[in-house]
Amino acid sequence: MNNEKTIQEIQVIKEAFDEKRNIMGYAPKEMIQVSKHCHKGGDIFITEEGELIDLEYQMKDFDERELVKYIELAEELYEINNVAISIYILCPKTINVTAPEIPIKSAAVFNIKLACFEADPVYSMLYYIKEKIDKNIPINEEDYENLLTIPMMGPKKEKNNLRIECFRLLKKAMK
The domains found in the chain, sorted by start residue, are 1-118 (3.40.1350), 120-175 (no CATH)
Q: How far apart are CA 53 and CA 50, in angstroms?
A: 10
pTM of the model: 0.71
The b-or-e profile of 73-98 (16+ CB within 10 A means b, else e) is: bbbbbbebbebbbbbbbbbbeebebe
Q: How far, in Å, are 7, 97, 137, 141 from residue 11 at the CA level?
A: 6, 24, 28, 32
| Res 119: pLDDT | 58
pLDDT of residue 1: 46
pLDDT at 113: 94
The pLDDT tens digits for 49-101 are 999 999 998 877 899 999 999 999 999 999 999 999 999 998 877 788 999 88
pLDDT digits (tens, 9 = 90+) for 162-173: 889 899 999 999
What letter represents residue 48's amino acid? E
Lowest mean pLDDT among 22-26, 71-75, 151-155, 170-174: 151-155
